[in-house]
């Protein structure tokens, strides 16, 4: 049975939904237009879902409405309750659901090909559809198990440090070769054991690919898994002859891949070395001893307030610690007070600050920080040499000069902010004992012009605001 061409209005509806998805990506490229982009995405998805439900005998109307109510209810409650600090692991969890959805759809199509219109005249699934199905289930299973590991690392349920397996590269390459070989064999033999073996191996390789990747590379991992989920959806779209799935999957897959490449370039990483896992882990294991015993200077909220009041320019560098303390609102209030007193205030955002792409941008936008005060690394880094105060709130790895000087460091080669060139540095962190997500000590702590503000970031900013207003 060959798959019949859908009616023209269906193709038009899917095309319109695809246009909405493109507009959504366009809107999401800037915090100023992100809300509009989200609305475009919601509209596109609504058109695609309604069109699919009208043209396919999926289930009875009560069953469909019940499924929408359950899924929508879970999504609504999750979105309302989730803290911004937990957003990276939520994104990873969502990616795992997309991957599992691709696996379940592929399994349903394999077990009941007539319902999906993908069987040939002899009752077997078309060879081309088998290739698409094999790729879809492989990418989906990799996305699921990889996203689960990313979720556990981001949520602190397992160590964020690279977990190195012996001969991991040989095992990974062998497993990937076996998956590709079985997909090729699947085109001539539709035996169930081949299908389920591909599925099992893909679940395993997803696990193996992510556990060797350390915390410093986790933002790239989140972006990469996003790309995988898109390609899984696109592959299943080809199998099911669903234009909306193909368009949506291709958009998500390509945009995620481009973002991953951009982030790797920003970190001076090789994309292949990141996805191969464990980049820099050996260097980290053999690096020098911790330097926490070196002399350092402690400052107070009053010190910070006085120095920033006397300054002409202040550059704020936020990091994950700001997110944990939920200090973005009081930080903006501090900046507003400084601006009223004639101080120039700018925000410097590193491409991989936080635990996912754009993490700091989202937090600052939530606090209604003006977009024209927020600058990317390449646009502001040269200004630190002329800046009176660099105010670092919860960042670590992105301001660590070891990335420029220490070839044994796991972050060596990653572009970082030149905060060491500022006249004065205030560094907020909870204690001197902690290090960044990459597990590397920071020479900025011990510089002559650095004052450590050891406290909860939100509490410290509140105290600074009080001092500024007296």
- Catalytically annotated residues: 397
Lookup: tokens for 263: 């982030």
Cβ-proximal residues to 269 (8 Å cutoff; 6+ apart), any chain: 217, 220, 279, 413, 414
Q: Is 105 exposed, middle or buried (0-12, 13-18, 19+ CB in 10 A)?
A: buried
State how far the Cα of 400 lies from the Cα of 390, in Å rounded to an integer: 13
Both tokens of 315, joined, read: 């550059």
Burial 181-199 (b: 16+ CB within 10 A, else e): ebbeebbeebeeebbebbb
Distance (Å, rounded) from C-alpha 432 to C-alpha 465? 24
Handedness of CA 348, 352, 354, 356 (dihedral sign): positive
Which among 200, 230, 29, 39 has a CA at the least distance from the CA of 107?
200
Query: E strands of 372-423, at which residues?
Result: 374-376, 389-393
Token output for 294: 């070196």
Question: What's phi and psi for 389, nearest 5 deg?
Answer: -135, 130
Query: What Å distances lie between residue 174 and 140, 195, 277, 287, 381, CA to CA?
Result: 19, 18, 15, 31, 43
For tokens 């699934």, the residue is 125
H or E segment at 301?
Answer: helix 301-310
**Residue the block writes with tokens 């220490």:** 406
Strand, coil or helix: 178 = helix
The number of helices, as runs of H, and strands, as runs of E, in the chain is 19, 6
């Amino acid at each position: 049975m060959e798959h019949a061409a859908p009616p023209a209005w269906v193709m038009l509806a899917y095309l319109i939904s695809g246009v909405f998805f493109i507009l959504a990506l366009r809107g999401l490229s800037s915090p100023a237009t992100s809300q509009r982009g989200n609305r475009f995405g919601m509209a596109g998805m609504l058109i695609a879902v309604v069109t699919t439900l009208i043209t396919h005998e999926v289930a009875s109307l009560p069953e469909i409405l019940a499924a929408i109510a359950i899924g929508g209810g879970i999504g609504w409650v999750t979105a309302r309750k989730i803290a911004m600090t937990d957003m990276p692991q939520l994104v990873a969890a969502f990616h795992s659901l997309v991957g599992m959805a691709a696996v379940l759809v592929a399994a349903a199509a394999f077990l009941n090909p007539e319902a999906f219109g993908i069987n040939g005249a002899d009752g077997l699934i078309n060879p081309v559809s088998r290739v698409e199905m094999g790729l879809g289930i492989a990418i989906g299973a990799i996305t699921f198990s990889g996203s689960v590991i990313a979720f556990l690392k981001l949520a602190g349920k397992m160590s964020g440090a690279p977990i190195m397996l012996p001969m991991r590269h040989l095992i990974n390459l062998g497993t990937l070769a076996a998956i590709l070989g079985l997909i090729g064999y699947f085109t001539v033999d539709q035996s169930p054991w081949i299908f389920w073996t591909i599925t099992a191996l893909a679940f395993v390789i997803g696990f193996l690919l992510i556990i060797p990747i350390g915390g410093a590379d986790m933002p790239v991992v989140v972006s990469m898994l996003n790309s995988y989920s898109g390609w899984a959806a696109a592959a299943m779209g080809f199998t099911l002859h669903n234009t909306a799935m193909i368009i949506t999957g291709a958009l998500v897959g390509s945009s995620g891949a481009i973002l991953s490449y951009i982030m790797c370039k920003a970190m001076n990483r090789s994309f292949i070395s990141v996805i191969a896992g464990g980049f820099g882990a050996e260097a980290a294991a053999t690096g020098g001893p911790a330097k926490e015993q070196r002399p350092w200077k402690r400052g107070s909220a009053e010190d910070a307030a006085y120095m920033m009041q006397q300054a002409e320019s202040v550059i704020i560098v936020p990091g994950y610690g700001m997110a944990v303390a939920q200090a973005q609102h009081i930080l903006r209030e501090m900046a507003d007070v400084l601006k009223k007193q004639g101080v120039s205030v700018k925000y410097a955002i590193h491409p991989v600050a936080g635990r996912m792409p754009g993490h700091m941008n989202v937090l600052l936008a939530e606090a209604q920080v003006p977009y024209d005060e927020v600058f990317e690394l390449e646009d502001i880094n040269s200004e630190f040499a002329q800046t009176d105060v660099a105010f670092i709130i919860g960042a670590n790895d992105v301001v660590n000069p070891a990335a420029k000087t220490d070839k044994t460091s796991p972050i060596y080669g990653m572009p970082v902010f030149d905060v060491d060139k500022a006249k004065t540095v205030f560094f907020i962190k909870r204690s001197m004992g902690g290090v960044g997500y990459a597990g590397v000590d920071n020479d900025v702590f011990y510089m002559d012009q650095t004052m450590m503000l050891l406290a909860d970031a939100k509490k410290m900013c509140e105290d600074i605001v009080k001092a500024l207003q007296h």
